[in-house]
Structure 1
Amino acid sequence: MTGRRDVDEELRARLHEAAGAHRPDRARILARVERGMAGGDRPAHHRTTRPPLPGWARVAGATAAVAGVLAVGGYAVASAVKDDAPGRRSVAASSTPSTAPGSKAPHAPVPSRPPASAVADGPLWSDGAVDPHSNEFWAQSNVTLKTAEPLTALTVELRVAQTGGVTSTGAWRSLPEDDFAFAVGERDGFLVYRWTLKEGRTVPAGEWMFAGQYDHDRGGRNAQADRYAATATAGSGGLSVRGDFAARDDGS
Structure 2
Amino acid sequence: MHEEQLRRELREAGLAHQPDHARMLARVERGLAAPPQASRRARAAVPWTGRRWPVAAAVAVAVAGVVGVGGLAVTTLDRGPAAPASELPAPGPVAAAAGTMDPGSNRWWAQADLAVTTETPVSGLVVDVRVARTAGVVSTGHWRTRPAEDFTVTVTEEPGALVYRWTLRPGRTVPPGRHVFAVQYNHAEGVRDASADTYTVVLTGGDGGGRATLRGGFGAAARAK
**Structure 1 position 140 matched with structure 2 position 126:** no
**5 Å matches for 1:171-250?**
171-235=142-206, 237-246=210-219
**5 Å matches for 1:116-127?**
123-127=94-98
Structure 1 CA distance, aligned partners of 2:216 and 2:159?
Answer: 18
**Structure 1 position 152 matched with structure 2 position 123:** yes
User: Alignment partner of 1:193: what SS?
Assistant: strand
Asked whether the equivalents of residues 93 and 211 of structure 2 are also in contact (C-alpha less than 8 Å), the reply is no
Give the letter aligned to residue 146 of structure 1.
Answer: T
Give the letter aligned to residue 166 of structure 2.
Answer: W
Question: Which residue pairs with 1:100 in the alignment?
Answer: none
Instruction: Give the drift of 1:131.
Output: 0.6
Q: Give structure 1 stretches of 5+ with no counterpart.
A: 1-120, 248-252
Question: Which residue pairs with 1:103 in the alignment?
Answer: none
Instruction: Give the drift of 1:186.
Output: 1.1
Q: Deviations over 1:207-246 (max 9, x none)?
A: 0000000000000100010000010101461111010112
Structure 2 CA distance, aligned partners of 1:222 and 1:238?
Answer: 32
Structure 2 CA distance, aligned partners of 1:199 and 1:210?
Answer: 19
Give the letter aligned to residue 246 of structure 1.
Answer: G
Structure 2 CA distance, aligned partners of 1:211 and 1:154?
Answer: 15
Percent identical pairs in the alignment equals 47
Asked whether the equivalents of residues 93 and 122 of structure 2 are also in contact (C-alpha less than 8 Å), the reply is no
Instruction: Give the drift of 1:188.
Output: 3.4
TM-score (ref. length: structure 1): 0.49
Structure 2 CA distance, aligned partners of 1:147 and 1:207?
Answer: 7
Instruction: Give the drift of 1:185.
Output: 1.8
Give the letter aligned to residue 244 of structure 1.
Answer: G
Structure 2 CA distance, aligned partners of 1:187 and 1:142?
Answer: 21
TM-score (ref. length: structure 2): 0.55
Q: Give structure 2 stretches of 5+ with no counterpart.
A: 1-91, 221-225
**5 Å matches for 1:54-203?**
123-203=94-174
Structure 2 CA distance, aligned partners of 1:233 and 1:146?
Answer: 14
Q: Deviations over 1:86-107 (max 9, x none)?
A: xxxxxxxxxxxxxxxxxxxxxx
CA 1:201–1:122 in structure 2 vs 1: closer, same or farther (change >3 Å)?
closer
Give the letter aligned to residue 240 of structure 1.
Answer: T
Structure 2 CA distance, aligned partners of 1:245 and 1:150?
Answer: 26
The structure showing larger relative contact order (alpha-carbon pairs under 8 Å, at least 6 residues apart) is 2
User: Alignment partner of 2:149: what SS?
Assistant: helix
User: Alignment partner of 1:203: what SS?
Assistant: coil
Bigger Rg over Cα: 2
Asked whether the equivalents of residues 122 and 203 of structure 2 are also in contact (C-alpha less than 8 Å), the reply is yes
Give the letter aligned to residue 136 of structure 1.
Answer: R
Structure 2 CA distance, aligned partners of 1:195 and 1:237?
Answer: 20
Instruction: Give the drift of 1:122.
Output: 5.4
